[in-house]
């Protein structure tokens, strides 16, 4: 089959519309011929083709995903580019790359198709039409603070279902989501962004290790123990320790020691009795309060990273997303009061 499934290959319409759409007005081939694009001539199959190629960054993989030939897929992508008057993909010898226009279009296309698919499946299965929100949360924040927030939200709004995704790293993940909490530095993009909190870090370790080195200086303490790192995308392993030591006037080799994908893994390793982690004092305040984790020094500094709530501007009008956003912001605002507690005293 040389075309996307569902097409009428003998159709006279430029985008090979399926048979049930052949009564609609013919789609012009260039945006300048039709002015503003509206749903009467949305090239749905061309958008499916673009989605498949852009998601896989390959015409071969995209064609396999849709069970069509590469030539058919290429024709649809070209027709979409022609209609928009913009290149969406750059063809390379070993694959394709998204252009700036393609990178803007892809998230909207994926989200639209995902929502259509979900609703159609609900209708077909006769399920109750509860709203499902897809929320991304970094693993450490999820386990340390967000689980009770989500529990209370579900009790208050049982009709709004939430699918939670959790990946390590900084910034938003590539998979389609409705809302994301990200661990990152401040940045400017096209998302609606709310700061939930800025990270304040301090060295933490087990009570046993803290007792063993009681009375030593911060520099001697760090020099004598293994440093535990949290890996950050595209950054050297010792970045956070280097920044902290510079703020404290401490000089030590900061690239040594183990590195972990998540802060909670590094802290758990430290709690087991080995090594010193650089941890957010607010994130791990319950562990410090119950004595399973010790922050033996009063040196606490912001490291430039924070937790931000992000969503697409067009989703602000979605009632379910608006409710969840307000709920999360309110709960973290309440936690901000707790951040006013006294910091650990110098030894």
Q: Can you give the pLDDT at residue 129? A: 53
CA distance 133 to 320: 8
Question: Which residues are CB-contacts of 25 (< 8 A; sequence separation ≥ 6)?
Answer: 40, 41
Report the pLDDT value the prediction gives residue 128, as an integer from 0 to 100. Answer: 53
**Domain 19-105 class?**
mainly alpha
pLDDT at 194: 93
Q: Do domains 19-105 and 130-347 have the same CATH topology?
A: no
Q: Does residue 315 have a pLDDT over 90? A: no
State how far the Cα of 280 lies from the Cα of 246, in Å rounded to an integer.
Answer: 17
Listed residue (163, 56, 46) closest to 109, CA to CA = 46
**pLDDT, average across residues 300-323:** 88
Among 135, 133, 146, CA closest to 264: 146
The phi, psi pair for 54, rounded to 5°, reads -65, -40
Tokens of 119: 């609703």
DSSP bridge partners of 97: 90
For residue 228, list its beta bridge partners. 277
**Helix axis angle, 59-66 relative to 44-56, nearest 10°?**
130
**pLDDT at 74 > cutoff 80:** yes
Parse the chain into domains and list their residue ranges: 19-105, 130-347
Residues in Cβ contact with 177 at an 8 Å cutoff, skipping those fewer than 6 apart: 134, 135, 136, 165
Q: Is 8 left (phi over 0), alpha (psi -120 to 50) or beta?
A: beta
Tens of pLDDT, residue by residue over 133-176, are: 889 999 999 999 999 999 999 999 988 889 998 877 666 665 57
Q: What is the CATH number of domain 130-347?
A: 3.40.190.290
Q: pTM above the 0.75 mark?
A: no
pLDDT at 18: 38
Q: Give dist(CA 82, CA 34) in Å, integer.
A: 12
DSSP 46-110: HHHHHHHHHHHT-HHHHHHHHTS-HHHHHHHHHHHHHHHTS--EEEETTEEEE-HHHHHHHHHHH
**Which structure tokens are listed for 231?**
């890996």
Q: Which residues pair with 278 in a beta bridge?
A: 203
Average the pLDDT over 17-24 and give the result: 33
C-alpha R_g of the chain: 26
**C-alpha dihedral, 162 to 164 to 170 to 176, nearest 10°:** -70
- For the segment 272-282, the average pLDDT, to the nearest whole number, is 92
**Does residue 313 register a pLDDT over 90?**
no
> 134 is written with which tokens?
């897809």
pLDDT tens per residue across span 172-226: 665 578 899 998 888 888 888 999 989 999 999 999 999 999 999 999 999 999 9
Measured CA to CA in angstroms, residue 297 lies from 58, 212, 215, 302 at distances of 52, 14, 10, 15
């Amino acid at each position: 089959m040389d075309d996307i499934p569902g097409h009428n290959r003998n159709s006279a319409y430029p985008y090979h519309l399926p048979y049930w759409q052949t009564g609609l007005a013919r789609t012009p081939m260039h945006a300048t011929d039709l002015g503003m694009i509206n749903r009467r001539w949305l090239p749905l199959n061309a958008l499916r083709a673009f989605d498949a190629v852009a998601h896989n960054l390959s015409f071969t993989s995209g064609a396999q995903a849709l069970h069509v030939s590469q030539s058919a897929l290429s024709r649809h992508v070209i027709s979409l580019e022609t209609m928009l008057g913009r290149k969406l993909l750059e063809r390379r010898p070993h694959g394709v790359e998204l252009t700036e226009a393609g990178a803007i279009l892809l998230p909207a296309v994926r989200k639209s198709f995902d929502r259509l698919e979900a609703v159609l499946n609900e209708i077909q299965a006769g399920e109750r039409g509860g709203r499902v929100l897809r929320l991304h949360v970094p693993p450490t924040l999820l386990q340390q603070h967000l689980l009770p927030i989500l529990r209370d939200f579900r009790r208050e709004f049982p009709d709004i279902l939430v699918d939670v995704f959790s990946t390590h790293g900084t910034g938003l993940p590539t998979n389609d989501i409705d809302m994301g909490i990200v661990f990152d530095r401040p940045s400017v993009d096209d998302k609606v962004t709310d700061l939930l909190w800025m990270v304040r870090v301090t060295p933490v370790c087990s009570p046993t290790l803290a007792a063993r080195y009681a009375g030593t200086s911060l520099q001697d303490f760090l020099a004598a123990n293994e440093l535990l790192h949290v890996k950050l995308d595209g950054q050297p392993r010792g970045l956070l320790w280097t920044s902290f030591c510079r703020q404290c006037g401490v000089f030590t080799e900061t690239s040594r020691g183990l590195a972990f994908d998540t802060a909670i893994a590094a802290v758990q390793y430290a709690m087991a009795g080995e090594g010193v982690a650089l941890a957010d004092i607010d994130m791990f305040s319950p562990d410090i309060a119950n004595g399973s984790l010790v922050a033996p020094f009063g040196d606490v500094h912001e490291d430039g990273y924070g937790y931000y709530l992000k969503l697409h501007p067009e989703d602000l009008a979605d009632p379910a997303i608006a409710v969840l956003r307000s709920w999360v912001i309110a709960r973290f605002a309440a936690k901000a009061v707790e951040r006013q507690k006294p910091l650990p005293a110098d030894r």
